């Protein structure tokens, strides 16, 4: 019948409140965005393949410029597919692959290198060397002795700690040892470090917000889960300055708003989260019972 609006047209004319929420996931293979209504129903979606780069055997990287273009594109495409306007979006939640990181110039915002993926193996010899080192043996022994007297669970856990290539820690050390531009920036306190969530947050807010959340920090191998802060023990052990690491916030936190120039309107950023648990970020926005579990590699329950 003429004069009747289709569902997308009706949604486009609905008031800003109640609005819609964007759930965006940057995984290891794809980047996707869903638009959710107030009942957590998917109203529109978009997906693009993550373009991993393999410059050398064992190295896995992501071009940050390409990732940024894809990030913006899937949001615009998902909103268009939902038949709504950007000013109807009331929140953005972002989940990302774990432990993939980048460093960039604090003053200019320009990156020093590509994202170094959690799958990257360039630090494998560093990992072996550190795990078999005399310093690591002394560290473990000291923690065991202190645990014997204090019965501290934190010290017991530290006595069992080992490095892996999937952690950010020694891949970051590799960067600090091999890229003189990064070394100089760190010395001048002009270097920012971040996993994908931190970098996206920095880009979305035009540099006004520099932070990560507990779930992303916990995968770096530099975080103390007992004190819920960056580990002074580990950072001192491998000579990573604490000043290089971003502030850590709750997963469901007010991370500021997307700069208006990017999508035409400011959009509140309300959650950051690491994968696994695709679209768990929506739970932080809507509450319990609002998602159906989907299992990818690395998923846990």
Q: What is the pTM of this model?
A: 0.86
Q: 89-96 and 269-274: which strand pairing? A: parallel
Angle at 293 between CA 51 and CA 79, to 5 degrees: 55
- The fold of the 18-120+193-226+245-286 domain, in CATH, is Nucleotidyltransferase; domain 5 (3.30.420)
Distance, in Å, from the CA atom of 36 to the CA atom of 34, rounded to the nearest integer, reads 6
How does pLDDT run across 183-205, given as a tens digit for each residue?
999 999 999 999 999 999 999 99
Whose structure tokens read 């002074």? 232
For residue 282, the model assigns a pLDDT of 44
Q: Where are the domains of the chain?
A: 18-120+193-226+245-286
**pLDDT value, residue 147:** 96
Determine the pLDDT at residue 6.
Answer: 55
Quick: pLDDT tens for 168-182.
999 999 999 999 999
Residue found under tokens 């975080």: 223
Give the max Cα distance, the chain. 81
Say what the pLDDT of residue 274 is. 77
């Amino acid at each position: 019948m003429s004069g009747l609006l289709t569902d997308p047209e009706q949604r486009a004319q609905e008031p800003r409140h109640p609005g819609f929420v964007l759930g965006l996931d940057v995984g290891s293979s794809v980047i996707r965005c869903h638009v959710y209504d107030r009942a957590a129903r998917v109203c529109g979606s978009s997906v693009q393949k993550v373009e991993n780069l393999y410059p050398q055997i064992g190295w896995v990287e992501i071009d940050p410029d390409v990732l940024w273009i894809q990030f913006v594109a899937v949001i615009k495409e998902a909103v268009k597919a939902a038949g709504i306007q950007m000013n109807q979006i009331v929140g953005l939640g972002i989940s990302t692959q774990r432990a993939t990181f980048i460093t960039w110039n604090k003053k200019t915002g320009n990156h020093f290198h590509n994202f170094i993926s959690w799958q990257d193996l360039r630090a494998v010899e560093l990992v072996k060397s550190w795990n078999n080192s005399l310093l690591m043996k002394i560290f473990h022994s000291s923690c065991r002795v202190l645990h014997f007297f204090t019965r501290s669970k934190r010290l017991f856990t530290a006595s069992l700690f080992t490095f892996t290539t999937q952690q950010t820690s020694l891949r970051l050390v590799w960067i600090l040892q091999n890229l003189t531009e990064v070394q100089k920036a760190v010395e001048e306190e002009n270097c920012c470090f971040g996993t994908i969530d931190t970098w996206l947050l920095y880009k979305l807010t035009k540099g006004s917000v520099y932070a990560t959340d507990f779930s992303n920090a916990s995968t770096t191998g530099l975080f103390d889960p007992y004190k819920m802060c960056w580990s002074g023990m580990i950072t001192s052990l491998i000579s990573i300055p604490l000043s290089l690491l971003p502030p850590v916030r709750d997963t469901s936190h007010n991370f500021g708003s997307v700069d208006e120039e990017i999508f035409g309107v400011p959009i509140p950023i309300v959650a950051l989260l690491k994968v696994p648990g695709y679209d768990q970020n929506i739970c932080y926005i809507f509450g319990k019972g609002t998602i159906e579990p989907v299992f990818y590699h690395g998923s846990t329950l």
